[in-house]
Amino acid sequence: MTAKQKTFVMVKPDGVHRSLVGEVISRLEGRGLKLVALKMMQIDRNLAQKHYSAHTDKPFFSSLIEYITSGPVVAMVWEGPHAVRAVRALMGSTDPLEANPGSIRGDYALDIEKNLVHGADSPESAEREISLFFADDEIMCRE
């Protein structure tokens, strides 16, 4: 049996604004992943900078912080076998123009920054991001 893994996923402000929260959840549920935590929230600059700390030196960092704090997001924890890789595959490439049709970004986005959805890129990032956004008792146990 493949061990369960948790990953952190977020519908970014453009995805919430465009009413694509249900579409993102539906695709992850349809694949067989389980939703174990969810909240709608406004990210402040402090949390945004921590969340994207790997990108501090990138030329797009300040624009990325403006974008991710520009409106409410839906933060989630998903669980399942190879959840980190499974979600990344469902999301598609960072640049939606490179993302395969059939992926979330490939079907719903065009802009490299406003690319609709975030997913942790490794089990270590997942653990770090889950603890940034959720307390332990906000994460449910599911069969």
For ligand GTP, the binding residues (CB under 6 A) are 55, 60, 63-64, 94, 112-113, 115, 118-119, 121
Nearest residue (CB) to ligand GTP, 129 versus 142: 129
Which residue type occupies 97?
L
Q: How far apart are CA 7 and CA 64, in angstroms?
A: 21
Q: Scanning residues 83 to 142, which ones bind Mg ion (CB under 5 A)? A: 121
The helix/strand/coil state of 76 is strand
Query: What value does the CA radius of gyration of the chain take, rounded to a whole number of Å?
Result: 14
Closest residue to Mg ion, judged by C-beta, is 121
User: Between 107 and 121, whose beta carbon lies closer to Mg ion?
Assistant: 121
Residue 50 partner contact from Mg ion, ligand GTP, none using kind-dependent CB cut-offs of 5 to 8 Å: none
Residue 23's binding partner out of Mg ion, ligand GTP, none, with CB under 5 to 8 Å set by partner kind: none
Rounded to a whole number of angstroms, the minimum distance from the CB of residue 126 to ligand GTP is 11
Inter-CA distances, 41 with 13, 47, 59, 106, 114, Å: 10, 11, 26, 25, 18
Q: Which two tokens stand for residue 36?
A: 């174990």
Backbone CA torsion sign across 22, 26, 29, 31: negative
The nearest distance, CB 88 to ligand GTP, in angstroms, is 8
